[in-house]
Amino acid sequence: MWRLPLRRVWESVRALAGRLPRPRILWIVLGALLLVSLMPIVLYHRQVLELSQDKLAATERLQQTEVTRSLAEEINQFHTGVYQQLVSLRQILVLTGMIQNVDDPVHAPQVAALLENYATSNPNILYLTALGRNAKGPWAGNYRADADPFVSKALQRAFAATFLGQRYRGDPLALSQENRPAFVIAIPLRVDQDFRGMLAALVSLDPMFHRLQTTSVRGRTVYVVDRNGNVVAHPDVRNFVPGANVSSTFNVVRRLEELPAELRSTQTTSFLLEENGRQVEMIGTYSTIPELQWAVIAQRRLDDARADAGVEELNQQALTLVVAVTLATLVLGYLFAVAITAPIHSLAASTRAISRGEFHERTSVRGAREISELAETFNKMADDIEDYVARLKRAAEENRELFLGSIRMLAAAIDEKDPYTRGHSDRVARYSVIIGEQLGLDAEQLDKLRISALLHDVGKIGVDDRVLKKPGALTPDEFDLMKQHPVKGANIMRPVAQLKDMLPGIELHHEQVDGRGYPYGLRGDQIPLMARIIAVADTLDAITTNRPYQSAMSLDYALQRIRQSVDTKFDRTVVDALEAAIQSGRLRLRPIVQEVETEASVLA
């Protein structure tokens, strides 16, 4: 309901401002200074928030460090206690001599009773067994390991490790439907370095699981992972089953994997966690347990930590103060801000439009006197730029027409030296462009190919007419002179910078893919595509026009002759493109009287 009166007030203020003379920029600056009076409050509020947030982060880091270190020590002591129990049990077997053969039926009752006594004394030992060299022996406990395939496989791996004289601690396991965390630990039974069997226990991590639950409060989550990023124990066993990998979920786990395995370290880091499609800022701390290759990790959302310390209330109070001060100067300050920014935004938008080539763009003349003068100057500059660009475009087009016309006349002059080659360069250019289009060349590449094909025989200017116009076969010496025309043509055109990209077609169109061409004996892909195309187009025109040594042949015959030289003289891909163009009807022979193409058909 209050929006309508404000809108009417705003319209009235705008109408009044329109009738007033344009203000000077000095008054606008004074208005901006009025707004600056709010800056100390804002900066103070921001500084208080930053200090509070820093203290919160430091407090959370300290708490996480204490929790993870304490739990890491407890877990290490828990593991050490279980291990010492196995060592003690092994010592009893040594003293009684039963270690020689723990699966001996004679000793079985005594070994079983001993195992039962140890299993009963430690409720965290779910299963305890002593296996002989044949992997058989008595067991005790309230968990049937043989009914759990994962535990059975862990015991098999433990037997293989102890056989090599190694102590074994298995990967985290999830027991029963409750996903209770557990692991297998085993030590070898040896007599004078002779393997006699192993002692193995399935150990429950329920005490550690309950400790994780009690420390995971107020949004903080504490859990244990191994060095591969697999969950050992997590308070949320429904979503994080022991053995599940969480490296891709938690960045703090990925950082843990980068540490040396033997390093005992406690580090706190900040990272982002994706929740419900958005990034949440987190604080995480890990404490490593090198003896177990495990680590205790605590993590918490930063927003939860702020809520605990009442930062939101502090923020609300500060914002209330800022709003109260701002309301007193809002209307005047807003008018001043619009007076400065609106014309500048309009001018910036027009500048960006002109930078994109939209030279017709103009900016509206409004705002302060100085800004209006700047807008008028800008519009005048835009008019001058638009006119200048138009003149440049016309000059560039005229230069291009002159350049192409010169090339066309030069090609015609070359062809006129020999009545049999009249129109040859135009036809080679047309065939080359058709083949290039079939190969998918872009417009710029086709334009370069067109010009190169028109000038491919420009070097014949430097060949003696008696050789060039000789009606019969050339002698070896004469042919050597004729073979110089590609290099001569390239040398003639090389000083022209605009023709730099066309030189390969002029200089190399007599190279062959088998390396027997001239002038350099290049082979295969060493020959640029432009030269390979012109070579095929040049041969096609030579076969299909009257020459002193032959009459003009049909297009099919010419294609057959060219196809016979694939992979020796000509590139297979180019010849395939030629054949496709002929079959589609895009390339057809024209009567000789029509061979001289117009600029639109050859150079367009």
Q: DSSP string covering 410-465, please?
A: HHHHHHTTSGGGTTHHHHHHHHHHHHHHHTT--HHHHHHHHHHHHTTTGGGGGS-H
Q: Return the higher-pLDDT residue of 213 and 55.
A: 213
Return the bridge partners of 221, or none.
299
- What is the C-alpha separation between 579 and 587, in angstroms, rounded? 9
Q: pLDDT tens across 85-104, in order?
A: 899 988 988 888 888 888 88
Yes or no: say if 49 and 316 are a contact pair by the CB < 8 Å rule.
no
Yes or no: say if 170 and 212 are a contact pair by the CB < 8 Å rule.
no
Assess whether pLDDT exceeds 60 at residue 27: no
C-alpha torsion angle, residues 156, 159, 164, 166 (rounded to 10) = 110
Question: b/e string for 102-114 if b means 16 or more Cβ within 10 A?
Answer: bbeeebeeebbeb
Assess whether pLDDT exceeds 90 at residue 577: yes
Burial class (CB in 10 A: 0-12, 13-18, 19+), 157: middle
- What is the C-alpha separation between 530 and 502, in angstroms, rounded? 8
What pLDDT is stored for residue 58 in this prediction? 78
Tell me the CB-side half-sphere exposure of residue 170, using CA atoms within 13 A: 28
Q: Return the higher-pLDDT residue of 15 and 297.
A: 297
Assess whether pLDDT exceeds 50 at residue 370: yes
Mean pLDDT of 434-444: 93
Could you tell me the pTM of the whole model? Answer: 0.46
Residue corresponding to tokens 């020959």: 527
Assess whether pLDDT exceeds 90 at residue 406: no
Yes or no: say if 550 and 440 are a contact pair by the CB < 8 Å rule.
no
Best-predicted range by mean pLDDT (8-22, 139-153, 309-323):
139-153
Assess whether pLDDT exceeds 60 at residue 593: no
Mean pLDDT of 120-126: 89
DSSP string, 142-198: SS-GGG-HHHHHHHHHHHHHHHTT--EE---EEETTTTEEEEEEEEEEEETTEEEEE
What pLDDT is stored for residue 599 in this prediction? 33
> Helix, strand or coil for residue 41?
helix
Q: Return the higher-pLDDT residue of 359 and 493.
A: 493
Residue corresponding to tokens 């430091």: 58
Return the bridge partners of 190, or none.
195
State the amino acid at position 240 in one-letter form: F
Percent of the chain with pLDDT over 90: 17
Categorize the per-residue pLDDT at 358 as very low, low, confident or very high, splitting at 50, 70 and 90.
Answer: low
What pLDDT is stored for residue 414 in this prediction? 66
- What is the C-alpha separation between 576 and 582, in angstroms, rounded? 10
> Helix, strand or coil for residue 589?
coil
> Helix, strand or coil for residue 101?
coil
- What is the C-alpha separation between 472 and 428, in angstroms, rounded? 23
Assess whether pLDDT exceeds 50 at residue 39: yes
Categorize the per-residue pLDDT at 445 as very low, low, confident or very high, splitting at 50, 70 and 90.
Answer: very high
Closest listed residue to residue 434, CA positions, set 300, 326, 533, 552: 533
Cα 472 to Cα 476, 478, 538, 558, 575: the distances in Å are 13, 11, 20, 22, 29
Q: What's the mean per-residue pLDDT of the chain?
A: 78
Residue corresponding to tokens 């329920």: 206
Structure token pair of residue 177: 């439907």
Assess whether pLDDT exceeds 60 at residue 240: yes
- What is the C-alpha separation between 234 and 569, in angstroms, rounded? 72
**How many residues belong to the chain?**
604
> Helix, strand or coil for residue 290?
coil
Return the bridge partners of 294, or none.
226, 289
What pLDDT is stored for residue 595 in this prediction? 38
What pLDDT is stored for residue 596 in this prediction? 36
> Helix, strand or coil for residue 14?
helix
> Helix, strand or coil for residue 591?
coil
Which residues of 59-135 form beta strands (DSSP E)?
A: 125-131
- What is the C-alpha separation between 243 and 246, in angstroms, rounded? 9
DSSP string, 498-532: GGGGGHHHHHHTT--TBS--SSS--BGGGS-HHHH
- What is the C-alpha separation between 450 and 505, in angstroms, rounded? 10
Backbone angles phi, psi at 184, to 5 degrees: -105, 135
- What is the C-alpha separation between 486 and 489, in angstroms, rounded? 5
Structure token pair of residue 451: 């010009």
Mean pLDDT of 41-50: 60
Q: What domains does the chain contain, in order, with CATH numbers? A: 56-307 (3.30.450.20), 416-602 (1.10.3210.10)
State the amino acid at position 246 in one-letter form: V
C-alpha R_g of the chain: 45
Backbone angles phi, psi at 510, to 5 degrees: -105, 10
- Look at the alpha carbons of 545, 551, 553, 557 in this order and tell me if their dihedral is positive or negative: negative
CB atoms within 10 A of CB 364: 13
Backbone angles phi, psi at 130, to 5 degrees: -125, 115
Residue corresponding to tokens 């004729």: 482
What pLDDT is stored for residue 378 in this prediction? 65
- What is the C-alpha separation between 212 and 301, in angstroms, rounded? 17
Mean pLDDT of 55-61: 77
